[in-house]
Structure formats: C-alpha cells, structure tokens
Amino acid sequence: MAAAALTFEGFGGVALAADAWGSPDDPTVLLLHGGGQTRRSWRQAGQALAAAGRYAVAVDLRGHGDSDWPADGRYDLTAFAKDLRAVLAQLPTRPAVVGASIGGLAALAALTDGGESLASALVLIDAAPWVDTAGSQRLAGLMRRHAEGFASLDEAAAAASELSPRRRPADPQTLRAQMRCEGGRYYWRWDPRFLTGFDMASVADLEASVGALKLPTLVMHGQASTVVTETEMARFHTLMPTAEFAEVEGAGHLVAAEQADAFNALLLEFLERRAPRAPLVFDEGSDPRTLRDALGSFATGVVVITARDAAGAPVGLTANSFTSVSLDPPLILFCVAKTAGSLAALEQSRAFAVNVLHIGQQPASALFSKPGADRFSATPWEAWDSGTPILTNSLASIDCDAHARHDGGDHVIFIGRVRHARFEPRRDPLLYFRGRYRRLHFA
C-alpha cells in the first residue's frame, strides 16, 4: 500500500513532512517517531492501521527526515510540543496520538495542561518522564558517533545493528533512501544539532501535570529496554494509575521496529476498545460525559452575562448558551446553571446585559468563569441608562429588560427583550468548541 505525501506547518513556520495511509474519512491515528528516526519507521504500522479502517498519518519531527531543519536550531521539548499542537490544529478530526520515545514525550507535553481535548487517545512507546541514566547515555553516545557519518553503506548498516541489535540486520542498499550523501560520506537524515538541543532535564517537568491526564492511555514498554527500564515503568504506573501498561517481550527501546507484529496487535486492540471506529452513542441514563462531548461539537461564541444584585453591586458570569430568539419583538435567550453563584442576582434583576467577547477578551472569559473571583475590578466596564454593567469594547453588548424565565432541568432559561445594542464590526469573535477556545480560520 503506497503512502500519500502530506505537509504540515509547524511551530515558527517549520515545514513538517508526513506520509498517510488509508482514507481521510476514517478515524485518524497520528504517529510520532523517536529521536534519530523518521516517518519511514512507521510504514508497517501505517499499513496495518489502514487495513483496520484507520487513517494513519506519520510525521517527520523537525530536523528529521524531510522536515525542515529550523534556522534557530530549536530542538527543545517545547518546540516539539508546539509542532504537535500545530499539526493537531490542521487535522480535520481529533486523532489518537501514538508517540515513541521523544515523540511520546512531545505528545505528553502537548496534551497536558489543557491540551487533552486535542486528541481522542494516547499511546506512549518506551516514553516516560524519566530514563535510566546509563542506558540513555549509551544511546546518546551511539547517536553522537552516527552524527559523524559513515564511509560506506555497509558501515551504516553495522551501526544500525549496533543501535538496535534485536532488529533484523539492515540491507545496506535499502539504507540508501534513508540517508544523505555529502562529501563521499553517508549521514542519517537528521540534524546533528538535535543531540545538543534536546535536554532530558526539561522532561522531568512533565511529572507535575501527567497525573491529571484523563485521556484513554496505553503505555508500551520494551521488556529489554535499557533506556526506560522496569524501574521507570513502575514509577510511571504510580503516576498514571488509570493508564494501561503493556510489556513487549523481545523488544528494546525501538519497540515498533523490533517487534512489529506484537506492537501492531497491541495498538489495534487498544484503539478498538478505547477509541472505537463507530461513533460514540449516548442513551438517557448512560455516561453524561458522552452527551456533553456531543453537545460540545456545536461551536459557539462566548459571552459574559452582567447584571446588578439587590444591593446594586455588579455581578457577571461566562456562558456560551446564548442565542437570538426573535427580531419582532427583539428577544434573546441564555441559560444559567442552577449552581451558579450569580443565579439569584439574575433572577431578581429587572435588566441584564449580554457581552459578546472578541479574541482579545479570553482573559475576561476565564476571569468571569472562576467562582469567587474579583471580576469587575480587573475588567474595564461602564453603565448604560438601565444601570446594567457593560464590558467596555466587547465585540457586541446587548442591554435587555427581563422578559421571561423558564425551568430548564439543571439550568434556568432567561429570555430578554433588547432595548439597546452596540457592536464592533472590525474584530473577530472568541469561539468555543470541544472544550477549547478557538479562533476563526479564513480560507
């Protein structure tokens, strides 16, 4: 099965080369190789995924394969993670992310701290926030020697066997396409600056955020790996008790290459269980998170509802359940959770305002969504004739009289009659989709 060539734009405009197998209409699996490898290491996995009804996309990391070598030489974990977030933003659906070694660490960095909504599942292959020092230093030493190049393809094949002794010896001639030739010497297709640009010390910072990751996660470990040993895996298991762990017999650090059949079987079985091809279904009484995710598929704007409480103090909260109801008479609608601290003030108020936020007001959205926050002292606002607080310079502000109120299950439905509105036509809206703030992307 031939691969289709793709290109993504990464962090800082770095062009990232990729191969894809299967139909783009199928669920996407994004494959990230380890340091010193290229997207070609995923060929067998990509074909197996496509045969199982998945759309496999394998990306060359920056400075590897056919991807750009960044002019600034940045190969730190943050740069790899930002590349991944850029790629995820260019994919049409949320993929399952599969990362080996440094590719796995980049996935952890990109998907923690608010990024987990970008993916449907995570598979880590011999990747953990810690490594065995002796094994890691041995691997780094081999790669430094490889960076000096080889006098012949036979010499390169011998070096490849030393790097992965459990893998079938490479045919020197098949290595030709994976190497570049300069000045009569053969070099692997990666930037030597990567070896000094990536600092494992920064990886330890992941420990603080990995434990909160809620994505379906599988951690695969090579039984004979000297880089991520059983000691690191036991520690990782304690940090992520909800993740699944699998040890691959006969594999070292390069699990997918050294035990391809076992790796593919474990990967496909996990995906079928935790990221099934069929659409997710909600039935009344089942997991409410599924319903919430389904409703989150409808992109909305973001508004801040403002009013005054019985003492005349301004109150407000963030919402995205806002819509126009009627032009004649001019009516709008929004919903407020019955647990909201501002609900009582809104219920007794005769007037309120809806402030539609633009992309520069994301901090205001976050502030008004935090219970107990001192919201108005940190936000510019003004009062119109009704006395209702209006957030200054919003994309639109709509001042309303209270018109009707209805029960809506665990929310209260408010309908307002518009008495005055002001809007700014030259700004873009702040959007919310699948649990994340978004921006418009114009064709």
Q: Are residues 194 and 308 in the same domain?
A: no
- On the question of pLDDT at 25 being above 50, the answer is yes
Q: How much is the pTM?
A: 0.70
pLDDT at 442: 54
Task: Tell me how many domains the chain contains.
Answer: 2
Q: Are residues 118 and 261 in the same domain?
A: yes
Strand pairing of 179-182 and 185-188? antiparallel
Q: Are residues 204 and 308 in the same domain?
A: no
Q: Are residues 140 and 230 in the same domain?
A: yes
Mean pLDDT of 117-140: 92
List, for residues 10-19, the tens digit of each pLDDT value: 999 999 999 9
Mean pLDDT of 56-77: 97
Q: What mean pLDDT, rounded, does the chain reach?
A: 91
| Apex 150 CA angle, 144 and 153, nearest 5 | 130
The residues that bridge with 98 in the sheet, in sequence order, are 31, 123
Residue 277 neighbours by CB under 8 Å, 6+ apart: 26, 27, 53, 54
**Among 30-34, 197-201, 247-251, 389-393, which is the least confidently predicted range?**
197-201
Residues comprising the chain, all counted:
443
How far is residue 379's CA from residue 355's CA, in Å, rounded to a whole number?
12
CA distances from 201 to 62, 197, 207 (A): 20, 12, 12
Instruction: Tell me which residue has tokens 């299950």.
Output: 409
Residue 168's pLDDT band, with cuts at 50, 70 and 90, is low
Q: Are residues 270 and 299 in the same domain?
A: no
Q: Are residues 248 and 320 in the same domain?
A: no
- Tell me, yes or no, whether 223 lies in a domain: yes
Q: Alpha helix (H) ranges present in 259-413?
A: 260-274, 288-295, 343-348, 362-368
Q: Are residues 117 and 217 in the same domain?
A: yes
- Tell me, yes or no, whether 143 lies in a domain: yes
**Among 59-68, 137-146, 172-181, 286-295, which is the least confidently predicted range?**
286-295
Mean pLDDT of 92-103: 94
Domain with residue 257: its CATH number is 3.40.50.1820
- What 3 state SS string does 160-187 have? HHHHCCCCCCCCHHHHHHHEEEECCEEE
Taking a C-beta distance cutoff of 8 angstroms, is the pair 386, 436 a contact?
no
Mean pLDDT of 296-306: 92
Q: Are residues 190 and 238 in the same domain?
A: yes
Q: Which structure tokens are listed for 77? A: 């974990």
Q: Are residues 236 and 376 in the same domain?
A: no
For residue 250, give its domain range. 4-274
Q: Are residues 253 and 303 in the same domain?
A: no
Domain with residue 391: its CATH number is 2.30.110.10
Which residue, of 212, 242, 274, is where some domain finishes? Answer: 274
Q: Are residues 32 and 72 in the same domain?
A: yes
- Tell me, yes or no, whether 284 lies in a domain: no
